[in-house]
Structure 1
Amino acid sequence: MKKMNVLLALGLFAFAPAIFSQKNIDPKDIREKMQWFADAKLGIFIHSGIYAVNGVDESWSFYNKKLSYADYMKQLNGFTLKKYDPAYWAGLIKESGARYAVVTTKHHDGVAMYDTRMNGLSIVKKAPAKQDLIKPLFEELRKQNIKCGAYYSLIDWSDNNYPAFLKDSNRYVVSKDYDRWNRFRNFFQGQIKEINTMFRPDLWWFDGDWEHSAEEWESQKVRSIILSGNPKAIINGRLQGYGDYETPEQNFPVTRPNYHWWELCMTSNDNWGFHNDNNWKTPYEIITIFVDAVANGGNLLLDIGPKEDGTLPEEQVNILKELGAWNNKHGEAIFNTVGGLPQGHFYGPSTLSKDSTTLYMFLHGKMNGPVMIKGLKNKVEEVTVLGNGTKLQPKIVGKISWSPIPGLVYIDVPASVADNYVTVLRIKLDKPLNLYKGSGGLN
């Protein structure tokens, strides 16, 4: 078998050039540690930071000169966390059905959400909050058996050793001032070591890698730092090729991505942090996006943005609760499944049980009437409306007794069983899924 085919079979081709260039990397170990992520399907992203005080763009607002850096940093004085309840956050995340959560430990603005020892810029030292946001949240999440992820920005627009400090000033070419760049590398790698030691994240969510190369970041060294402290930690794809999975942002892929493990990160309105933004996605929109991601073999990392006092917008609470109620009813079709039918066999998203003997079909909206499956060689043993229990009778159309080509499977779905958001049909097969791939006729 050619090398590329081997990598594809292992599900590792997306990041193989970097991972396999390292020594002592066992593909089996990577697959095993990624299994919980593959089964998790849903994570909650938490963008908490001083940008919530005035409801402005996180970090980018001063970088893009919507306001001055000085005015942006004045928000430190209003970041209180006076109503912060990490147990409530964790309980709400659990209720949503999420299996993991990712929280900002430091965004591009350089403000640490924990008590960093690498400098004095943290909400513990500089804000009236005077507390570490990360530790109590991780403790509460772990009580709920939810995996803990740390978002960390590699770039730092408040550090005067960073070459893009305040965008226009302090620029320098790394190759011409490696002493200065090394001072910054020691700083950010020191923070990574702190976070790894203090919180032992199950997942690392890097951001900002686009500004420098893997060599300049020392990406392989960063990966080694993390794994030496926690060999089971997984890393997102924003480490210049040294991550474990890909993270498309906001834009949903039309066709199933080629990489094996992936996660769609998406906001619940149009902004990551708390913002003066009321363009909320509806629970229906979130649930259908989530279903499509899972059906295409990925996860959804859904973002929420807490206010400066630690409370959550009512709209985001409602989204998480509605998502959780739907997951509670239909979770069998989501969690611990794999991507479903290839395009063309069913005009909608679907998933499969891991043994491929149960097919789950998702019907968006209050859809009713006949739905169709093409090219199914299996015998359908039973069709049930998931979460409802109603049994439906499939009808086979166009099957010729002397031809090996399967007929079309029609299932009539009555309006009375339709879910408010997405209805799920559970289709029990006689054996593992077997699909017809021919072009019709007598072939």
Structure 2
Amino acid sequence: MNEMWGSQKVKSNNSLRGKNFIDGNYAMFIHWGLYSQLANKWKGKTYYGIGEWLMHKDLAGVPADEYMEVAKDFNPTKFDADAFVSLAKNAGMKYIIITSKHHDGFAMFDTKVSDFNVVKATPYGKDLMKQLAEACKKQEMGFGFYYSHNQDWTEPGGNGGPKTNAKGEAVTFDDYFKNKCLPQVIELTKNYGDIELIWFDTPGNMPKKYVEELVQVVRKYQPKALVSGRAGHGLGDYTTLGDMEIPNKNHEGLWETVDVINDSWGYAWYDQNWKTPKDILERLISTVARGGTYMVNIGPKGDGTIPIQSTKALLNAGKWIKKYPNVVYGAEASPWKHKLPWGDVTKKGNSLYLSIYKWPIDGELYLPGLQSNIESCTIQTKKGNIALKVQKINGWTKINLPSNRPEKLVSVVTLKLNEPPKVISTLGIDPVIETELLAEFATASDAKKDHKYWMEKFGEWKATAHIHSFKEYGKAYWKVDVLKPGYYQVELDYAGEGRLVWSVETDDNEQMQNQQNSSQIYAYHSIGWLKFKKSGKHKIAVSLVEGNAEKASLRAIKLIPVVLD
């Protein structure tokens, strides 16, 4: 994966570029092409995975000459550029990035350097990118292009493409680059007005000299446009994290997360696994709270229509954003540097916006480690903003919420401080809501801690930090702050092979041990009750006592307050 996406050790962004990226924090990605017409079916068989990779040998393995014939059936007569842009605008997004050419090599624009394009090869015969660029300009929406600069599965010489041309002559990557890639990027940067950015992808082992030429073209014709980090060789303006990756810790520098509204980037007929409006908002807010920009993808159908579920989810999330713009636009990262058990925090100036994903059933919201004095604490309701009672308790801030949550999706508490936020970024054990302590925040002793990535369906990336390779006295431990002593139900999230015996203990000699089964898929397993004898700072440790240490992988521990009379 890292080899495919290339080195992204980019420098700080030039302040002349990327205003919508930096301040808008929210964008629409669109994957649309011939693969949308196929919708993950080839010769009557459905292939499960990301649709735009249908040609790849690990899915349908479609030969290039057969795939190119699909263009004869591509006729998106229901495409409405204004409707696309209106959807993005009403969803609260600030710019649109669309696939001008994906790895299949098909150009969704009027290119002079290849006949394999929407104008010359399809019955539709019109430049889709021109229509969308004009609609964005009319509605004052930012616009930019995705362009696959390294992989091209139908162009001779492109990475993954044929090795000979139509005359049977051997060709190289240099031929592809000079005859197709470079001139097409020139066309995109010269012929479509002002653009926000060029989103290059999967540079792989593409030599640096080629990436340098492409970046020079963008700088020449679009000096205000950003270049994505996936251009490669550290030549981009910002970093793109792994697909669908929302980081757990604040991430430094200029970066984005790219996500998909269901499972497949390109349209797949079977894929109905839509994110809800609440899912979208939580992933957006938590991306901004980690310091990044969130770009979520839709996959239009081959006829040019957008699945209605995408539209409903985005518009409902957009209504919320319209009510709470300060949570997203121009907002900065959380001073806690990680999520909190009930939700997440963004900030602007001396104001903190507490976005509540899980409404506490007893109406008490707890903030650990806030040092700054609070001028006001309010929550927005249908009757307007109402003031909330705030108490300081043993280094924690307790906020008394209304009896009923004012929002079905995400409610927001606004804290106005009399100074910039000062926070002790501690892992607080919430006295009301279950607290998940991720392996990413643990210290490993006589065990290993690192990240791993895997796919459960083709192209659908999963990622987690985990602790593994436990030695005889190996432990994972977390330093935590406990407000309310008492009993907490302990669950461990792990994967492995066979029955595993885990031990959990605290620094005040409370210890528990239990055996549970395991599987290759991460799942929570109940271990038992653990008692914190007093409030304050504690250390909680997890160790593997018996079982297959080579296969055991610990992802998190969850502490759930036990309610007793």
**Structure 1 length-normalised TM:** 0.84
CA distance in structure 1 between the partners assigned to 2:155 and 2:191 by the alignment: 22
1:339-418 alignment runs, 5 A limit: 339-343=333-337, 346-347=340-341, 348-353=343-348, 355=349, 357-368=350-361, 369-386=363-380, 388=382, 389-398=384-393, 407-418=395-406
CA distance in structure 1 between the partners assigned to 2:381 and 2:330 by the alignment: 17
1:387/1:294 Cα in 2 relative to 1: closer, same or farther (>3 Å)? farther
Q: Which residue of structure 2 aligns with residue 162 of structure 1?
A: 158
Q: Which residue of structure 2 aligns with residue 253 of structure 1?
A: 247
Secondary structure of the structure 2 residue equivalent to 1:266:
strand
CA contact (8 A) 1:261 1:298 kept: yes
Offset of residue 67 of structure 1? 4.7
Q: Which residue of structure 2 aligns with residue 38 of structure 1?
A: 22
Q: Is 2:226 the partner of 1:238?
A: no
Q: Is 2:38 the partner of 1:54?
A: yes
1:135-284 alignment runs, 5 A limit: 135-154=130-149, 155-165=151-161, 180-186=172-178, 187-199=180-192, 200-215=194-209, 218-240=210-232, 241-248=234-241, 249-258=243-252, 260-276=253-269, 277-284=271-278
Q: Which residue of structure 2 aligns with residue 21 of structure 1?
A: none
CA distance in structure 2 between the partners assigned to 1:50 and 1:162 by the alignment: 18
Which structure's residues are more often helix, by fraction? 1
Which structure's residues are more often strand, by fraction? 2
1:14/1:436 Cα in 2 relative to 1: closer, same or farther (>3 Å)? same
1:120-135 alignment runs, 5 A limit: 120-135=115-130
Offset of residue 387 of structure 1? 5.8
Gapped regions of structure 2 (runs ≥ 5): 1-7, 41-49, 427-480, 482-535, 538-565
Q: Which residue of structure 1 aligns with residue 495 of structure 2?
A: none
Q: Deviations over 1:382-402 (max 9, x none)?
A: 112146433233332336xxx
Secondary structure of the structure 2 residue equivalent to 1:427:
strand
Offset of residue 381 of structure 1? 1.4
Deviates further, 313-322 or 280-289: 280-289
CA distance in structure 1 between the partners assigned to 2:356 and 2:221 by the alignment: 45
CA distance in structure 2 between the partners assigned to 1:130 and 1:306 by the alignment: 18
1:425 to 394, 402, 413: 413
CA contact (8 A) 2:244 2:257 kept: yes
CA distance in structure 2 between the partners assigned to 1:150 and 1:322 by the alignment: 26
Q: Deviations over 1:43-82 (max 9, x none)?
A: 0001111111120254421222515224433321221111
Q: Which residue of structure 2 aligns with residue 115 of structure 1?
A: 110
Q: Which residue of structure 1 aligns with residue 70 of structure 2?
A: 75
Offset of residue 287 of structure 1? 1.4
CA contact (8 A) 1:392 1:413 kept: no
Q: Is 2:306 the partner of 1:312?
A: yes
Secondary structure of the structure 2 residue equivalent to 1:396:
strand
CA distance in structure 2 between the partners assigned to 1:295 and 1:91 by the alignment: 27
Q: Which residue of structure 2 aligns with residue 10 of structure 1?
A: none
CA contact (8 A) 2:77 2:124 kept: yes
CA distance in structure 2 between the partners assigned to 1:420 and 1:163 by the alignment: 48
The letter of the residue matching 2:78 is K
1:8-27 alignment runs, 5 A limit: 14-16=9-11
CA contact (8 A) 1:297 1:338 kept: yes
Offset of residue 365 of structure 1? 4.1
CA distance in structure 1 between the partners assigned to 2:390 and 2:379 by the alignment: 16
1:144/1:163 Cα in 2 relative to 1: closer, same or farther (>3 Å)? closer
The letter of the residue matching 1:164 is G
Secondary structure of the structure 2 residue equivalent to 1:242:
coil
The letter of the residue matching 1:237 is G
Identity among equivalent pairs (%): 27
Aligned Cα RMSD in Å? Answer: 2.4
CA contact (8 A) 2:336 2:424 kept: no
Secondary structure of the structure 2 residue equivalent to 1:417:
coil
CA contact (8 A) 1:344 1:374 kept: no
The letter of the residue matching 1:43 is A
CA distance in structure 1 between the partners assigned to 2:399 and 2:215 by the alignment: 50
CA contact (8 A) 1:366 1:418 kept: no
The letter of the residue matching 2:293 is N
Q: Give the total of aligned pairs.
A: 398
The letter of the residue matching 1:239 is A
1:298 to 292, 300, 305: 292
1:75/1:387 Cα in 2 relative to 1: closer, same or farther (>3 Å)? farther
CA distance in structure 2 between the partners assigned to 1:343 and 1:255 by the alignment: 6
Q: Which residue of structure 2 aligns with residue 9 of structure 1?
A: none
Offset of residue 102 of structure 1? 0.3
Secondary structure of the structure 1 residue equivalent to 2:231:
coil
Name the larger-Rg structure: 2
The letter of the residue matching 2:268 is H
Offset of residue 366 of structure 1? 4.4
Offset of residue 129 of structure 1? 1.3
Offset of residue 325 of structure 1? 0.9
Offset of residue 281 of structure 1? 1.7
Q: Deviations over 1:393-429 (max 9, x none)?
A: 3332336xxxxxxx42111112423311111111111
CA contact (8 A) 2:34 2:71 kept: yes
CA contact (8 A) 1:163 1:170 kept: no
1:313/1:163 Cα in 2 relative to 1: closer, same or farther (>3 Å)? closer
The letter of the residue matching 2:156 is N
Gapped regions of structure 1 (runs ≥ 5): 1-12, 17-26, 172-176, 400-406
